[in-house]
């Protein structure tokens, strides 16, 4: 183990304020102290006489989401209390991502009142020769092109002024989840087990029980992470804290992604003390784009999602192990 500064030059960023910059959709990444979206908060217009931080460096939040660390694949500007790490020796992207994980593992040492400004350079990390062999076996290049949309046509304009409200029970048959409890799982089987989680598409494990719900449905949490909605392409089991939405229309993965977003927007109405019970859920409403006959415009919803970045990665899975 060696101090981080033995492997990287630890440099302070350019310390910009996003509200003083001009947003530009095709501009330069603005990296802040957030834990989301690889640290990128926005894209901004180039700043005269200010060279962006080079691609291939690691961004590290010294405050905010302390020690959130990301490999930046493009040049970027940085917000306040953000450092960047320049490798002193040649490193592969896989090795850099390994060091991102190593730095993040020290987050428990810090908080809002104890930032990492002075001590970042002293964090202990493995040397290059101590990196586990599995890192070299990883292939980051397999994700090249993942950001491509499924369709290259322009994204349709999202104008919600004429959208109309529909009760969820008009769109879906809604039933309580059926299946084992989480404590009854033994790690064997091939059937997906869905719980009221907000991560991993709701999949917590696998079970050897026969599926209790069909695929091509949406699971919505009534408890736990209330209001989280996930599309399930494969047959599955779930706890009673997940309500299963079986469509009364022809559902595709793209339409499901559109609907999931709208369903999740209702989660603010509920919480630990106010569950989203099945009767409330049935009469809850979401607003949807409509056709000239005031029916849900499924074609618009599908086309909208198919033109978004990363939509090329939306596909029906046939392997239960792939979503764990």
Reply yes or no on whether the pLDDT at 114 is more than 90.
Answer: no
E-strand stretches of 88-202: 124-125, 164-167, 172-176, 191-194
Regarding the domain with residue range 164-323, which homologous superfamily does it belong to in the CATH classification?
Answer: DNA methylase specificity domains (3.90.220.20)
pLDDT higher at 59 or 63: 59
Residues 2-143, CATH architecture: Alpha-Beta Complex (3.90)
pLDDT at 119 (0 to 100): 92
Reply yes or no on whether the pLDDT at 254 is more than 80.
Answer: yes
pLDDT at 293 (0 to 100): 96
pLDDT higher at 61 or 273: 61
Reply yes or no on whether the pLDDT at 321 is more than 60.
Answer: no
Distance between CA atoms of 156 and 302, rounded to whole angstroms?
A: 10
pLDDT at 319 (0 to 100): 46
% of the chain beyond a pLDDT of 70: 97
Following CA atoms 114, 117, 118, 119 in sequence, which dihedral angle do they give, to the nearest 10 degrees? 70
Alpha helices, DSSP H, located in the chain: 4-7, 93-104, 133-137, 168-171, 253-264, 278-283, 298-306
Q: What is the DSSP letter of 272?
A: T
Average confidence (pLDDT) over 189-197: 91
pTM of the model: 0.74
Domain with CATH 3.90.220.20 in the chain: 2-143, 164-323
- Single out the residue of 279, 296, 270, 288 nearest to residue 174, CA to CA: 279
Tens of pLDDT, residue by residue over 295-320, are 999 999 999 999 998 899 887 544 44
Reply yes or no on whether the pLDDT at 103 is more than 70.
Answer: yes
């Amino acid at each position: 183990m060696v101090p981080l500064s033995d492997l990287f030059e630890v440099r302070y960023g350019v310390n910009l304020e996003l509200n003083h910059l001009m947003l530009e959709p095709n501009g330069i990444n603005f990296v802040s102290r957030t834990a989301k979206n690889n640290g990128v908060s926005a894209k901004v217009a180039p700043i005269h006489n200010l060279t962006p931080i080079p691609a291939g460096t690691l961004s590290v939040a010294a405050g905010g989401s302390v020690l959130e660390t990301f490999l930046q694949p493009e040049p970027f500007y940085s917000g306040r209390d953000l450092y960047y790490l320049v490798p002193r020796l040649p490193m592969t992207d896989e090795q850099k991502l390994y060091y991102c994980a190593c730095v993040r593992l020290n987050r428990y040492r810090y908080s809002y009142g104890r930032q990492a400004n002075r001590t970042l350079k002293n964090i202990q990390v493995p040397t290059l020769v101590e990196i586990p062999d599995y890192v070299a076996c990883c292939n980051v290049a397999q994700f090249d092109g993942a950001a491509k949309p499924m369709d290259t046509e322009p994204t349709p304009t999202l104008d919600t002024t004429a959208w109309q409200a529909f009760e969820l029970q008009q769109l879906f048959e809604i039933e309580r989840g059926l299946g084992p409890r989480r404590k009854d799982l033994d790690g064997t089987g091939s059937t997906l087990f869905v719980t009221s989680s907000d991560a991993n598409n709701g999949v917590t494990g696998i079970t050897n029980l026969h599926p209790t719900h069909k695929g091509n449905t949406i699971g919505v949490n009534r408890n736990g992470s209330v209001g989280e909605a996930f599309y399930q392409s494969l047959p599955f089991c779930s706890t009673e804290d997940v309500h299963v939405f079986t469509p009364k229309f022809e559902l595709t993965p793209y339409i499901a992604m559109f609907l999931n977003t709208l369903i999740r927007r209702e989660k603010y109405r509920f919480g630990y003390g106010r569950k989203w019970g099945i009767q409330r859920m049935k009469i809850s409403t979401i607003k949807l784009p409509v056709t000239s006959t005031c029916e849900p415009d499924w074609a618009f919803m599908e086309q909208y999602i198919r033109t978004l970045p990363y939509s090329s990665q939306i596909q029906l899975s046939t392997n239960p192990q792939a979503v764990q």
